[in-house]
Copies of this chain bind each other. A is one copy, B any other.
Amino acid sequence: MSIQTIRWTNGHVKLIDQTKLPGKLVYIHCRDVKTLWQAIRRLSVRGAPALGVAAAFGVLLGIKSFSGSGSRSRNRNDRKRFSKHVERISDYLATSRPTAVNLFNALTRMKAVIQRHPGADVAQLKDLLKKEALAVYEEDRTLCRKMGDFGARLVPSGGRLLTVCNAGALATVDYGTALGVMYSAKAKGKKFQVYSCETRPLLQGARLTVWELLRSGIDTTLICDNMAATLMKQGKIDAVFAGADRIAANGDTANKIGTYNLAVLAKHHRIPFYVVAPQSTFDLSIAGGKQIPIEERSREEVLGFGGRPTAPRQVKVYNPAFDVTDNALITAIVTEKGIIRPPFRKNIKRTFRPKTKD
């Protein structure tokens, strides 16, 4: 494997430009916040957990340029200015994409560092922020492997699995959530095969998931999104595994457009539907999915592909990037703390409450 989706290296962010996959494996070096913001907006880096890491690293990029009256000074004024500067960077990064809560959670974590160290000067805060960002990064690596191990229990022997979009190494630091389950199942010697929905409009399934799974030697079949129903009807799918961009307190789950479609189909065909996501994807401040903001993206994404028009330009377009799957359609949510089953409101609270203290 060894896909290094995003890294902090030599004082800047190095990330795979996912818009160039599967054709080319190209890296982008982001040396300032704006370059990173643009990389997020145009989906060079995407996937909820990876966006959390990107946001944390974004803060590091932003504070590089901060010049106080002297890094060793304990000047209160410098500290206050620095804190405001971090607020501004965070606010800016928060405008890049609205749905994945990991991005906001990571920014909140970074800002909390400053609150937690009222006595630290700017230089110390810079060090502490760097440590926090690298902790977000390292935790992602660990959490994905834990989720993978829990989730692998849900992979039936000889199973035919269905997934949507890319919830893999490319959506995280290096392993993945839904695809992490498959990597873990493979490492444990389980036999299975995977169907990947191509995931219009931006084809993350065809471009990214297929690329990742083939690199890992997993038996993979590509389908168009509208073919999943017929596969299920033919009895060819044993379980659906999807990632998540935001999960409400009741388990309602926002994820890439098309996920809700698969959940309805899975219910109709009595196929288990699993969501795989770390705690950082949960937004316990919202009660249900209706409160999750859904990003609508450019009409151009639907009107063609790779600059090739496929529909008359004057047509209206509806292009929501995400949808929300009702908790009633979800069989279980795999987290790094274990597998959460219904009733979700109660069990999510129980899973995270005793351990939310860092």
Instruction: Choose among A201, A203, A219, A227 the residue with the greatest number of B CB atoms under 10 Å from its CB.
Output: A227
The stretch from A181-189, A192-200, A241-249, A349-357 touching chain B is A192-200
Q: Which of B199, B207, B304, B312 contacts A211 (CB 8 A)?
A: B312
Interface status of A154 (Cβ within 8 A of chain B): no
Q: In the bound complex, how far is the Cα of B319 from the Cα of A40, in angstroms?
A: 33
Residues 259-273 of A, flagged 1 when their CB comes within 8 A of B and 0 if not, give 011001101100000
Question: Once the chains bind, are B323 and A221 in contact (CB under 8 Å)?
Answer: no
Q: Give A227 Cβ to nearest chain B Cβ, in Å.
A: 6
Q: Give A87 Cβ to nearest chain B Cβ, in Å.
A: 34
Interface status of A231 (Cβ within 8 A of chain B): yes
Question: Once the chains bind, are A307 and B310 in contact (CB under 8 Å)?
Answer: no
Instruction: Choose among A200, A226, A227 the residue with the greatest number of B CB atoms under 10 Å from its CB.
Output: A226
A210-B315, A230-B323 as given contacts; A302 in contact with B223, CB under 8 Å: yes
Question: Once the chains bind, are A318 and B200 in contact (CB under 8 Å)?
Answer: no
The interface residues of chain B lying within 8 Å CB-to-CB of A257 are 224, 226-227, 230
Could you tell me which residues of chain A, from 257 to 305, have a CB within 8 Å of some CB in chain B? 257-258, 260-261, 264-265, 267-268, 302-305
A210-B312, A230-B260 as given contacts; A221 in contact with B317, CB under 8 Å: yes
A230-B320, A302-B198 as given contacts; A220 in contact with B315, CB under 8 Å: yes
Instruction: Choose among A223, A225, A311 the residue with the greatest number of B CB atoms under 10 Å from its CB.
Output: A311
- Chain B residue, CB-CB nearest to A227: B257
Question: Once the chains bind, are A198 and B311 in contact (CB under 8 Å)?
Answer: yes
Question: Once the chains bind, are B227 and A226 in contact (CB under 8 Å)?
Answer: no
The interface residues of chain B lying within 8 Å CB-to-CB of A264 are 229, 264-265, 268
A200-B200, A222-B316 as given contacts; A311 in contact with B206, CB under 8 Å: yes
The interface residues of chain B lying within 8 Å CB-to-CB of A200 are 198, 200, 224-226
- Chain B residue, CB-CB nearest to A200: B224
Interface status of A233 (Cβ within 8 A of chain B): yes
Interface status of A69 (Cβ within 8 A of chain B): no
Which 4 pairs from chain A and chain B are nearest by CB?
A226-B258, A229-B261, A206-B311, A200-B224
